[in-house]
Amino acid sequence: MTLTTPILPPARLGILGGGQLGRMFTVAAKTMGYQVVVLDPDPLAPAAEFADEHLCAAFTDAEALAKLAQCAAVTTEFENVNADAMRQLAQHTVVSPSGDCVAIAQNRIHEKAWIRKAGLQTAPYQVIESAADISEASAEFLPGILKTATMGYDGKGQIRVKTVAELQAAFAEHNGVACVLEKMVDLRAEISVIVCRLNNEQALCFDPAENQHIDGILAYSIVPARLPQALQQQAQTMAKRLADELDYVGVLAVEMFVTGDDSVLVVNEMAPRPHNSGHHTLNACVTDQFQQQVRLMCGLTPGNTALLSPCTMANILGDVWGDDGSEPNWLNLQQQASSHLHLYGKKSARKGRKMGHFTTLADNADAALQAAQALHGSLK
């Protein structure tokens, strides 16, 4: 269904997935006066604490989907949902982003094809769907990373390869599932741009975030990115162009690499939802990315994306909990006047699990990063 007039409170909004992104969406929607229904098979789903209704069922459960279909609008918090379920829901209610866009974002092969179709650059890559696709010609993309086409996140599903023999072994290690072999690019920085798009005329970007990863997981997002203004502008133009090409409705995160001496921007991947690198918007922007998700799914114009202060967002992983499950030392962080702690209410702190984040505001990006690093160090 398409929207003719905006959806207003206290309408019921549905979301597929109740992890931390679903939780922050739920808080935003509730604050704005909407009711929220969350579908998530996990009885301890982080969003359930705040939702009006938690449908604790599989994402393909017909009964649960029928209940979601009664919502005024439905969105998603992650890309690995069944895109067909979203297309079915769209016959009964307003769904954003579309199942088609989600299907593209969940498969690196489609994703890269669309990025190029939008006239944007990717790293050089080869699609490898069977062992027969690997040949001496593959050497052109080495050294490279063999990434599974689907279900990759936080560096999972990736094997680095230097030779054709290693590539063959890596493909076998991925059990022969469809993959993309991506040439290693000369990474100078990683950034992400979050686009909030209702239609061609109404689309706004947040300032690019500069992202630092540790062990393949986002550790810090620094905003504004410490890059020339012209490059930042170019990144926003590129992200918008991709959203336009997809006729995207909602919040779209576009990850990019700044490469080589001449700072060429290549698009890495996209996420059809709010993104970890946009969590700083909760405390440092006029409108946060979850409010944007609510607004856009309801057919409302995107809110002002202006940055109010330089800041750094730091992820808090389960690693900072004690081996006996004891809490981190929150005191320093909680006593710091310019930092904001967000915890996701997850019951068990496993290593590598995203348990929360905090955002530190400062006079400039360098100072914010330094303060955030020191505070992060004080947790353990």
Question: Should residue 111 be labelled a site residue for ligand ADP when binding is judged by CB under 6 A?
Answer: no
Nearer to ligand ADP, 55 or 225 (CB): 225
- Which listed range, 11-19, 23-31, 178-186, 343-351, lies at the site for ligand ADP (CB under 6 A)? 178-186
Closest distance between ligand ADP and the C-beta of residue 296, in Å?
A: 23
Question: Which residue ranges make up the annotated binding site for ATP?
Answer: 108, 147, 152-158, 182-185, 190, 213, 268-269
Q: Does 154 bind ligand ADP (CB under 6 A)?
A: yes
For residue 120, the one-letter residue type is L
Nearer to ligand ADP, 276 or 305 (CB): 276
3-state SS assignment for residue 206: coil
Using the minimum distance from each CB to ligand ADP, give the nearer residue, 145 or 296: 145
Annotated binding site: 108, 147, 152-158, 182-185, 190, 213, 268-269
Nearer to ligand ADP, 254 or 294 (CB): 254
Strand order in the sheet with 179-183: 125-128, 179-183, 144-148, 158-161
How many residues in total does the chain contain?
A: 380
Show the tokens assigned to 290. 């979850």
Distances (CA, A) of 9 to 6, 14, 114: 10, 13, 35
Stretch that binds ligand ADP, among 26-34, 92-100, 153-161, 167-175 (CB under 6 A): 153-161
Kindly state the smallest distance separating residue 227's Cβ from ligand ADP, in Å: 16
CB of 212 vs ligand ADP, minimal distance in Å: 9
Q: Is 153 in the site for ligand ADP (CB under 6 A)?
A: yes
Among 62, 165, 187, 214, interactor with ligand ADP by CB under 6 A: 187
| Exposure class string for 210-224: b at 16+ Cβ within 10 A, else e | bbeeeeebbbbbbbb
Distance CA 380, CA 377 (A): 6
By CB under 6 A, the count of residues binding ligand ADP is 17
**In the complex, what is the shortest distance from the CB of residue 147 to ligand ADP, in angstroms, rounded to a whole number?**
6
Beta bridge partners of 211: 221
151 near ligand ADP (CB under 6 A): no
Residue-wise DSSP of 75-111: EES-S-S-HHHHHHHTTTSEESS-HHHHHHHT-HHHH
Name the burial class of residue 322, with classes exposed (0-12), middle (13-18) and buried (19+) by CB atoms within 10 angstroms of its CB. exposed
- Local structure of residue 316 (DSSP, 8 states): E
Candidates 192, 268, 291, 359; binder of ligand ADP (CB under 6 A) is 268
Tell me how far apart the alpha carbons of residues 370 and 376 are, in angstroms, rounded to a whole number.
Answer: 10
- The Cα 129–Cα 131 span in angstroms is 7
Which DSSP letter does residue 273 get? S
Binding window for ligand ADP (CB under 6 A); candidates: 31-39, 61-69, 144-152, 193-201: 144-152
Among positions 196-235, residues that touch ligand ADP (CB under 6 A) are 213, 216
Q: Is 69 in the site for ligand ADP (CB under 6 A)?
A: no
Task: Name the residues that contact ligand ADP, by CB under 6 A.
Answer: 123, 145, 147, 152-155, 182, 184-185, 187, 190, 213, 216, 255, 268-269
